[in-house]
Structure 1
């Protein structure tokens, strides 16, 4: 008979985060978890998207040309009906998608992404929080309509000002952050990587992503922790250490503040 103790006890298999979906009036709202994906389709209807995390991969949107892409965190996106879409990412990122399902078309015939729009950021974060809590009583229809209106705002009104990072610089920065996420990461180190002064780096970072470097680091730690909770059987204490949290309790507190639920609740 096998004697089980704390050294050989079998941990439960990790439970993947589901695709969360709400239908409200003419709208379907989906919260896609951060995970690897590869997809190819012709969009049957227009869709509004919002990337909570940085994403890197390959895509061809309305084109035969497959090329590398970087999706900025807090980036608003739009895919028109009939658009040929190919997209793949080895890590993916959490993503909100909104569509009309009543046959009424959304205005717009040009695909875009990486539009940083502060009102859209506020709306998307509110919708994600309600989705993670499984709330169905909130004002989903009004939120979806408001986000759709932000996607049709004149692009010049929401275009980032001068002094933002190029996508190649953002990719380099992400690689640097992800490689050092288990330890302290400072603004001087990140600014030095790009050859920038701290003041310029902080201003450009906020213009590029809609958030501060400190807030971005927290979100990257949370995203990595959620991936490990989903894809590994490592203990929560091990995950907290790997992702640069001071302790499991610190990770739990940060999850509650940012997501409104704990790592234990996510693991199920």
Structure 2
């Protein structure tokens, strides 16, 4: 329903804007004027991931930017982006980025300096699962998405 989508976008905008604040599903559901259960189900159906997953992706994106600056410790970055547990932050960062926050901070980042932040954000967004990107590339080439390791030509002209 269109009105639900508008309310879900309001909650998503809240996460984008206030990612460093202590946000939880009941608070986000209140912002969307929905029950927590309905909000979680609707959010996942509309955006393809849970509200918590979306929020953590925003936090990791911001953490990557702070770590590239190099003037904050990993612990300071963890708390600056709204995480309350260094262990959970490090685990999620490693899961999404492919390396620990310390390793990410230590690697050189000068090559991306001339790229505008809005463009860099698109290409450095943490991706939980590479399959959707591979599926999108297959569709652009006119093939069916990869299933069981085989690409099949599309029946489309």
Q: TM-score range by the shorter chain?
A: 0.5 to 0.7
1:1-268 matches, cutoff 5 A? 162=1, 165-166=5-6, 169-170=8-9, 172-231=10-69, 233-267=71-105, 268=107
- Structure with bigger RCO (C-alpha 8 Å, 6+ apart): 1
Structure with greater helix share of residues = 2
Q: 1:193 to 1:242 in 2, by over 3 A?
A: same
* Aligned-partner SS, 2:84: coil
Separation in structure 2 between the aligned mates of residue 256 and residue 211 of structure 1, nearest angstrom: 19
Q: Distance in 2 between matches of 1:190 and 1:241?
A: 20
Cα distance per residue 1:5-33 (max 9 Å; x no partner) = xxxxxxxxxxxxxxxxxxxxxxxxxxxxx
Contact 2:11–2:29 at 8 Å: present in 1 too? no
The 4+ residue runs of structure 1 with deviation greater than 4 A are none
* Aligned equivalents of 2:8, 2:39: Cα separation in 1: 11
Q: If each structure's strand is expressed as a fraction of its own residues, which one has the higher value? A: 1
1:205–1:212 CA contact under 8 A, matched in 2: yes
CA distance, structure 1, for counterparts of residue 40 and residue 85 of structure 2? 27
CA apart distance, 1:232: 5.4
Aligned mates of 1:224, 1:234 — CA distance in 2: 13
TM-score (normalizing by structure 2): 0.56
TM-align CA RMSD: 2.4
| The structure with more radius of gyration | 1
Cα pair distance change 1:182/1:192, threshold 3 Å? same
Query: Offset at 1:183?
Result: 3.8
- Residue 96 of structure 1 corresponds to none
Alpha carbons of 1:210 and 1:175: their partners in 2 closer, same or farther (altered >3 Å)? closer
Give the C-alpha shift of residue 193 in structure 1.
0.7
Flag the 1:174–1:232 CA change in 2: closer, same or farther, 3 A: farther
- TM-aligned CA distance change 1:206 to 1:232, over 3 Å: same
TM-score (norm 1): 0.35
Tell whether the 8 Å contact from 2:16 to 2:55 is kept in structure 1 after alignment. no
Shift of 1:179: 4.3
